[in-house]
A and B are shown apart, each in its own frame.
Chain A
Amino acid sequence: MATAALEHDANAGHGEHQHYTSTGLEHRKIAIWALIGSECMLFASLISTYLIYKGRSRVGPWPHDWGCKTSNVIGKTAEAVQAAGCAAADVMKPILDIPVTSQSTFVLLMSSLAMVLALEGVENAGKPGYDKWYKGSKFWLAMTAIMGATFLGYQSYEFTSFVHEGLTIRTNLFGSSFFTLTGFHGTHVAVGVLWLMTMLFIDMKRGLKGATDVLLVDICALYWHFVDVVWIAIFTLIYLIQ
């Protein structure tokens, strides 16, 4: 066991030390996978809560249905709500904005592409063909961070418009479970953006290269992709399925 660890230490680049467990795997990578596993359970519980409370709100706004501000009438169309006795001025439209969220989903998916290209840039730093700016890790790390920040901008816009339309975390069961779930996810994205900016700062300061730096970017990438796959589930379960 100790021999294996020494062999790996000797192979690490730049005289830095990588720490391997008795499995032969870097312990920081095992740790990030364990963290991702525990995060799966956290988000499963938040998604479960949302799904259990779905359709149980007694007051609007509702995610997919039209509603009435002065009564509990809901319907599939504005006409159906008005036909049930709601004044035209009191009609509430469905709160979820699918076109806007589709755009933010696309941005987050593309940020995952940028992230793998950043990792490839670090893995191949100094090799022929990777000296071009559009193949380097700095460019792709910056792109990933920018796309992550753009996603957060979309989420801020969405939250703000919801509040203006009368939906807050205290309005109804939908508001409580929706803001908790998407707020937790947004916080994870914000942490990811800070992490990416830290990696970019290190890259600009001294350059990212060698086995230890590849591992650091790999761990950051795993976290970022996890944030992406959680959004894939949220987008379908919360936004698209009625």
Chain B
Amino acid sequence: MSDHSAHGHAAEHEHPTWKQYKWVALWLTLITIVEVWVYYTPFRESSLFAPALLVMSAVKFTIVVLFYMHLKYDHWIFRRLFTGSLFIATATLFALMFLFRKLTLG
């Protein structure tokens, strides 16, 4: 029990460095610039526009959660708490989209 506790406590203190934080901020800024840029290009009319934006948004979301919220370095219980809730939230969103015919199969 004691070993497990100590491991959990130690795991909470492994964080990225100042330099890594700045790289993360740079990537977040670059992805945001690309998102806004494609909004003003003819690519906006493409059927790939929405999926491309969703992928970029998901990448930004994941970067913030892993590095700024330290979920990459933190205890597995926190990861389960967050990803479990996020899964339920996303599943609810998709279920409602199908229920109200905003999304259809085929």
> Are B32 and A102 in contact, with the CB atoms below 8 A?
yes
Q: Which of A85-93, A179-187, A229-237 contacts B (4 or more CB under 8 A)?
A: A229-237
Is B105 among interface residues, defined by CB-CB distance under 8 A?
A: no
Instruction: Classify the secondary structure of B's interface with A.
Output: helix
Which residue from B7, B50, B77, B90 sits with its C-beta under 8 Å from A241? Answer: B50
Which residues of A (28-65) have their CB < 8 Å from a CB of B?
Answer: 29-30, 33-34, 36-38, 40-41, 43-45, 47-48, 51-52, 54
> Are B102 and A51 in contact, with the CB atoms below 8 A?
yes
Interchain CA distance A43-B86 in the complex, whole Å: 10
Q: Known contacts A24-B7, A106-B29, A242-B44; decide if A116 and B68 are in contact (CB<8 Å).
A: yes
Is B60 among interface residues, defined by CB-CB distance under 8 A?
A: yes
Which residue from B4, B84, B100 sits with its C-beta under 8 Å from A24? Answer: B4
> Are B32 and A23 in contact, with the CB atoms below 8 A?
no
Q: Which residue of chain B lies nearest to A215 when distances are taken between CB atoms in the complex?
A: B12
Residues from chain A with a CB closer than 8 A to the CB of B100 are 52
Q: Which of A4, A40, A116 has the most CB of B within 10 A?
A: A116
> Are A44 and B2 in contact, with the CB atoms below 8 A?
no
Which residues of B (1-58) have their CB < 8 Å from a CB of A?
Answer: 1-2, 4-9, 12-13, 15-16, 18, 21-22, 24-25, 28-29, 32, 35-36, 39, 44, 49-50, 53-54, 56-57
Instruction: Classify the secondary structure of A's interface with B.
Output: helix
Interchain CA distance A97-B13 in the complex, whole Å: 41
Interface size class of A (residues with CB under 8 A): 35 or more
Q: Which residue of chain B lies nearest to A18 when distances are taken between CB atoms in the complex?
A: B9
Interchain CA distance A102-B33 in the complex, whole Å: 9
> Are B32 and A109 in contact, with the CB atoms below 8 A?
yes
> Are A236 and B85 in contact, with the CB atoms below 8 A?
no
CB distance from B45 to the nearest CB of A (A): 9
> Are A44 and B89 in contact, with the CB atoms below 8 A?
yes
CB distance from A41 to the nearest CB of B (A): 5
Interchain CA distance A40-B4 in the complex, whole Å: 29
CB distance from A223 to the nearest CB of B (A): 10
Is A8 among interface residues, defined by CB-CB distance under 8 A?
A: yes
Q: Which residue of chain A lies nearest to B24 when distances are taken between CB atoms in the complex?
A: A113
CB distance from B42 to the nearest CB of A (A): 13
Q: Known contacts A123-B15, A240-B39; decide if A3 and B1 are in contact (CB<8 Å).
A: yes
Q: Which of A33, A113, A222 has the most CB of B within 10 A?
A: A33
Interchain CA distance A228-B92 in the complex, whole Å: 21
> Are A236 and B64 in contact, with the CB atoms below 8 A?
no
Q: Known contacts A240-B39, A242-B44; decide if A37 and B102 are in contact (CB<8 Å).
A: no
CB distance from A218 to the nearest CB of B (A): 8
Interchain CA distance A191-B78 in the complex, whole Å: 23
Q: Which of A24, A44, A120, A123 has the most CB of B within 10 A?
A: A24
Q: Known contacts A30-B81, A37-B81; decide if A236 and B35 are in contact (CB<8 Å).
A: yes
Which residue from A1, A25, A43, A119 sits with its C-beta under 8 Å from B75? Answer: A25
- Residue pairs across A and B with Cβ atoms less than 8 A apart, 9 shown, are A3-B2, A34-B81, A41-B85, A44-B93, A102-B32, A102-B36, A115-B68, A116-B68, A236-B53
Q: Give me 8 other A-B pairs in contact (C-beta within 8 A), A4-B5, A109-B28, A242-B44 excluded.
A: A1-B1, A8-B9, A23-B75, A24-B7, A29-B12, A225-B65, A229-B60, A229-B61
